[in-house]
């Protein structure tokens, strides 16, 4: 019992030291412990489900990156080794592959539910815009990740997607050439897509998710308009 009390005391001291210098404890309380409007439903859990899947994708993607070799002569073979030879590789790859599809499905469901509840209205316009940008980043993650398998289906599906981007007005041709890495398709597209999939897009996506969660915490959860009044309509409720 004495050891338990001593460890508890030391832990509280450590938290006090951290809180005095970084305010992390107060931030934790502000972020997690807050009032929510009445009348919430299971539709309000879709955002949290998305966050869980995103964390799973980040973990499984990091594990896959330790064994994947982004090259024209090595990409497909490294995927086969991960699936067939490495311990639990089939599970990690399967979780990452099907988790990507689940993220897109959950994102569309989340946005549909938010739109139905009027989450795009004042004062949550920035929350909605950040959510739309997250959707764009997720689609870009799916596009860049699909090619990395480097089989016939992945290659031609990526060719179709890049050509579709090239038909966009003004910036379309430049985006298409950027994704190809030149005027024609070559093996150089693999390291380019790998860098986008592992570095640039996840960084932007992580920043957008942090911003989105901050705005949700700042302005509150959007209640179902047919069940309760929105407390955010009262400036004193969220100022």
Write out the two tokens for 196: 């986008």
| DSSP state letters, 104-166 | HHHHHHHHHHHHHTTTTSTT-HHHHHHHHHHHHHHHHHHHHHHHTT-SHHHHHHHHHHHHHHH
User: What is the predicted pLDDT for the residue at 25?
Assistant: 72
Examine the pLDDT at 236 and tell me if it is beyond 60.
no
- Burial (CB count within 10 angstroms: exposed 0-12, middle 13-18, buried 19+), residue 43: middle
User: What is the predicted pLDDT for the residue at 202?
Assistant: 94
Phi/psi for 151 (5° steps) reads -105, 180
Domains parsed from the chain with CATH numbers? 45-219 (1.20.810.10)
User: What is the predicted pLDDT for the residue at 99?
Assistant: 96
What mean pLDDT is predicted for residues 225-234? 68
**pLDDT one-digit tens code per residue, 77-120:** 999 999 999 999 999 999 999 999 999 999 999 999 999 999 99
Residue 220 — pLDDT band, cuts 50, 70, 90? Answer: confident
What mean pLDDT is predicted for residues 129-155? 94
The model's pTM is 0.86
Question: Contact 209/54 with Cβ under 8 angstroms?
Answer: yes
């Amino acid at each position: 019992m004495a050891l338990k009390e001593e460890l508890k005391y030391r832990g509280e001291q450590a938290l006090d030291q951290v809180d005095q210098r970084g305010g992390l404890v107060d931030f934790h309380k502000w972020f997690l412990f807050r009032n929510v409007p009445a009348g919430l439903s299971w539709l309000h859990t879709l955002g949290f489900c998305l966050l869980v899947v995103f964390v799973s994708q980040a973990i499984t993607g990091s594990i896959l990156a330790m064994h994947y070799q982004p090259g024209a002569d090595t990409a497909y073979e490294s995927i086969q080794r991960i699936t067939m030879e490495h311990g639990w590789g089939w599970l990690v790859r399967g979780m990452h592959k099907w988790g990507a599809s689940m993220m897109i499905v959950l994102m569309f469901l989340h946005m549909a539910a938010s739109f139905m509840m009027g989450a795009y209205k004042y004062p949550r316009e920035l929350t909605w815009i950040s959510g739309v940008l997250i959707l764009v980043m997720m689609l870009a993650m799916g596009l860049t990740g699909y090619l990395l398998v480097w089989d016939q289906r992945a290659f031609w599906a990526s060719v179709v997607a890049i050509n579709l981007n090239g038909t966009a007005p003004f910036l379309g041709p430049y985006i298409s050439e950027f994704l190809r890495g030149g005027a024609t398709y070559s093996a150089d597209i693999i390291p380019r897509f790998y860098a986008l999939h592992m570095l640039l897009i996840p960084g932007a996506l992580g920043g957008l998710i942090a911003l989105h969660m901050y705005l949700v915490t700042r302005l509150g959860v959007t209640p179902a308009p047919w069940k309760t009044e929105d407390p955010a309509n009262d400036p004193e409720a969220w100022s």
